Amino acid sequence: MEDGSIYRSIDNGATFQDIGLSSFGMDSSDTSQRIELAISPMNNNRILAGIISGGATDFGQLVKLYLTNNGLATTSSISWTDVAQPTASGITDICMEYDDAIGWYAFTLTFDPLNNNRFLIGSIYLFRGNIASASPTVTYSALSTSSSTMHPDYHYFCYYPGSSSKCYIANDGGVYKSLNINLTTPTFSFISTDLNITQFYSIAITPTANKFLAIGGTQDNGTRRFNNNASSISSATKVIGGDGGYCFIDQTEPHKGITSNTYNYFYKSTDTLLSVTAFPRISNNGLFINPADYHDDSDILFSGDSIGFVAKWSNIFSGALLYDPITDSDFSSFEASHINISPNLVSGFTFPTVYIGTKKGRVFKILNSTTSPNFVNITTNILPSILSGGYVSCIEVKKTGLTSSSANDTIAVTYSNYGVPHVWYTTNGSSASPTWSNISGDLPDMPVRWALFAPNGNAYGYQLLIATELGVWTTTSINGASTHWEAINTGLANVRTEMLKIRPSDKMLYAATFGRGIFRSDMFSPIKISFKTQYNSYGSYCNVKFIDQSTTPTTTPIAAWAWDFQNNGTIDATIQNPTIERESIGAWVKLTISGTFGNISYLKTRASLFSNSNMMCPVDAPTSAISRLSADSIENIQSNIIGSSTIQSEYNISIDEIIIFPNPTNSVINIKTNTNAIPQEVILFDLNGKQIISNKDREQIDLSELVKGTYIISIKYENQTPISTTIIKQ
């Protein structure tokens, strides 16, 4: 409750009674911002009430801790006692750290289910309280007072049923457990490694296709860096601690990056965020999670600042870093809530237009932002009710690739308030006073936090994507008040989504969510059709396996394959990866794939599939395909080209004892054994059985003059049957 009292119901919620805490009162200047209750499972008469202040001087602090032992008595008989609060060396309030109190956000308490006198209480720090049996005296033991034990900011304690020792703890770091919470010095273990509940404010992605080098700013878990060698999303490492704000990866030089904590605390990196260097510290200007945008080509960053100003940071990666707050009289009473540097260049200007969204619903564009800034309000035609209290969460300018006076005509603006039209749109954004349309249409009344124009000509016809309180939504037709919106959350979740990014190189879409981590989708990735061949087996005929390498978005999978091995209109196979005799392959091979995307075909010449004019099997077959030939296949060829022998070797060398390296090779191969035996003869054959090389008493063979391909090597040691295997010449 926030009115300084506690209420109870004894008739299933039909009526509520004030059970008297308000009569004990707060200081006259204080009001309660939050009250947390703990009721003893062993004795429901025993109740603890922690009072978090909402006052101007002690906001967020634990100002009172009350205890009653007759909470089930009649209203007039209930008595509350103000008991001691937990303290320790350097800790006077468990909700206070430095100058900040966070009891409004993180505070919880609960009783031991088997001990009426014991309870846990936590905020930034965790304590165990003990109530003296004979009096309402409370003493405390500190269980966790540093981040080395557990992540701070406690939200919930849950004892295992019927246990005083086993307890689960929820905090900003995740979920921990203790198997001995009742001991003087309990131990804790982190158990939510695979629980994907990280709250991301932001995401930045590498420009390189098919890579997941990404960084993201999180709530109280710092900026996280995802493995740049991974081809898919993986676990992340910490770049900086605390709260992670806006972050950027340079799209022209991706080894450069920028991240931030709160306010204007920024860091830069030149080694793909493996290490960072802090910007000069500026006072707590700007918002807690401070909006920013970075211009890759000029190394200039714009960020929120104090009311009436926007911070411009230049020379970030070259020269002396310069902090320059910019303003003009039209912006004097506004504070930035979102910043976007246009992807387009307006003719006559040397730097793109910078757009600033505000906490008061207005959107400004800054002309000449790097020389003589001029702030222009472009939202005078938006509803006055929004301009008085709307919170601009995103400004999205459609990329045109043109340098013109109308380059920035198409713009979408979103608002994250409840009770207001959330999405606005203009097609004459370059004019002095753009005409805005409310395109919220049938979108539910919920915060919208980001907007992203969909790639032109995508298979779904999507025009605009928005990140909302319930995941990602889209429309296929921007049509004023009649705009229809639909959720596209398959594989995602109905979760608050903060930011959307798309990578131009492969059209991969990324979504940063506030509570379920980072998601990505290939829905806009282009359909690619291709195939390769692989040598499949030996015998009287050479069989060739065709391997489909086509890729489509996961939302539009391939439904059917049609192979025409002579390109004569006859379908010869309908499985994904068929095998066919070499002699049945014509001059051209055609593959057609089908799905909801339609039919797409691809042609390849016979000559491109094989290694030489005899149209033998392909030289680019993977090593694994060659090295895994069956023993029967090897022996069949050996019997044709080598013959057999019954002579036994004194060394009795087996194929497993021979080391041939390197294999594959582009020059020489070496032949070694653990007995240091020298081969009596080494013969190299092509796959037709033709002898190519013959050497005696040699451990090294030079293949540099041979064409690329697969060969059979026969190695004979003294008084031993020749041993054969395959090698690859690259």
- Say what the pLDDT of residue 431 is: 92
| Residue 208: φ, ψ to 5° | -75, 125
C-alpha to C-alpha distance for 145 and 507, rounded to whole angstroms = 46
From the number of C-beta atoms within 10 Å of its C-beta (0-12, 13-18, 19+), residue 229 rates as exposed
14-28, 376-390, 435-449, range with greatest mean pLDDT: 435-449
- Say what the pLDDT of residue 315 is: 95
Q: How many CA atoms does the CB half-sphere of 582 hold within 13 Å?
A: 19
Q: Is the peptide bond before 664 cis (omega within 30 degrees of 0)?
A: yes
pLDDT tens, position by position, 163-176: 999 999 999 999 99
Contacts of 130 (CB under 8 A, 6+ apart): 117, 118, 138, 139, 140, 141
Contacts of 367 (CB under 8 A, 6+ apart): 349, 353, 373, 374, 376
Q: Is the pLDDT of residue 4 over 90?
A: no
Contacts of 558 (CB under 8 A, 6+ apart): 548, 550, 552, 576, 593, 594, 595
User: Which amino acid, one-letter code, is at 640?
Assistant: N
Cα separations (Å) of 38 from 44, 156, 163, 405, 507?
10, 11, 17, 64, 51
Our CA dihedral for 278, 283, 284, 290, rounded to 10 degrees, sits at -50
Taking phi over 0 as left and psi of -120 to 50 as alpha, with beta for the rest, 423 belongs to beta
* Cβ burial 578-604 (10 Å sphere, 16+ → b, else e): bebebeebeebbbbebebeeeebebeb
- Say what the pLDDT of residue 598 is: 85
- Say what the pLDDT of residue 22 is: 58
C-alpha to C-alpha distance for 436 and 676, rounded to whole angstroms = 84
- Say what the pLDDT of residue 697 is: 66
Percent of the chain with pLDDT strictly greater than 90: 58
C-alpha to C-alpha distance for 713 and 709, rounded to whole angstroms = 13
From the number of C-beta atoms within 10 Å of its C-beta (0-12, 13-18, 19+), residue 615 rates as middle
- Say what the pLDDT of residue 543 is: 79
Q: How many CA atoms does the CB half-sphere of 77 hold within 13 Å?
A: 7
Q: How many CA atoms does the CB half-sphere of 546 hold within 13 Å?
A: 30
Name all domains of the chain by residue range, CATH numbers in brackets.
Answer: 7-190 (no CATH), 531-609 (2.60.40.10), 627-729 (2.60.40.3080)
Mean pLDDT of the chain: 86
Residue 600 C-alpha from the chain's centroid: 32
Q: Is the peptide bond before 343 cis (omega within 30 degrees of 0)?
A: no
Q: Is the pLDDT of residue 730 over 90?
A: no
Nearest to 560 by CA among 601, 589, 515, 521: 601
For residue 220, give the DSSP letter.
S
**What is the widest separation between alpha-carbon atoms in the chain?**
110
> Per the structure block, which two tokens stand in for 176?
């921990």
| Residue 75: φ, ψ to 5° | -55, -45
Q: Is the pLDDT of residue 639 over 60?
A: no
- Say what the pLDDT of residue 231 is: 56
C-alpha to C-alpha distance for 412 and 596, rounded to whole angstroms = 30
To which H or E segment does residue 583 belong?
Answer: none
Q: Is the pLDDT of residue 650 over 70?
A: no
Cα four-point dihedral sign 304, 310, 316, 322: negative
C-alpha to C-alpha distance for 420 and 229, rounded to whole angstroms = 44
Q: Are 26 and 63 in contact (CB under 8 A)?
A: yes
C-alpha to C-alpha distance for 435 and 552, rounded to whole angstroms = 39
pLDDT tens, position by position, 534-544: 765 444 446 78
Q: How many CA atoms does the CB half-sphere of 229 hold within 13 Å?
A: 0
Q: Which of 97-111, 313-327, 696-710 has the lowest mean pLDDT?
A: 696-710
Contacts of 206 (CB under 8 A, 6+ apart): 212, 213, 214, 228, 249, 254, 503
From the number of C-beta atoms within 10 Å of its C-beta (0-12, 13-18, 19+), residue 569 rates as exposed
Q: Are 84 and 113 in contact (CB under 8 A)?
A: no
Percent of the chain with pLDDT strictly greater than 70: 88
For residue 459, give the DSSP letter.
T
- Using the structure block, give the residue that is written with the tokens 């430095």: 98
C-alpha to C-alpha distance for 304 and 283, rounded to whole angstroms = 12
pLDDT tens, position by position, 553-593: 888 899 999 999 999 999 999 999 998 888 889 989 999 99
Q: Which residue has the higher pLDDT, 702 or 515?
A: 515
C-alpha to C-alpha distance for 701 and 715, rounded to whole angstroms = 11
Q: Is the pLDDT of residue 608 over 80?
A: no
> Per the structure block, which two tokens stand in for 533?
């061949």
C-alpha to C-alpha distance for 243 and 184, rounded to whole angstroms = 32
Q: Are 482 and 169 in contact (CB under 8 A)?
A: no
Our CA dihedral for 447, 451, 456, 459, rounded to 10 degrees, sits at -40
8-22, 219-233, 257-271, range with greatest mean pLDDT: 257-271
User: Which amino acid, one-letter code, is at 527?
Assistant: I
> Per the structure block, which two tokens stand in for 136?
């309402």
E-assigned strands of 444-485? 448-453, 464-468, 471-475
Q: Is the pLDDT of residue 508 over 50?
A: yes
pLDDT tier at 103, thresholds 50, 70, 90: very high
Nearest to 281 by CA among 301, 266, 292: 266
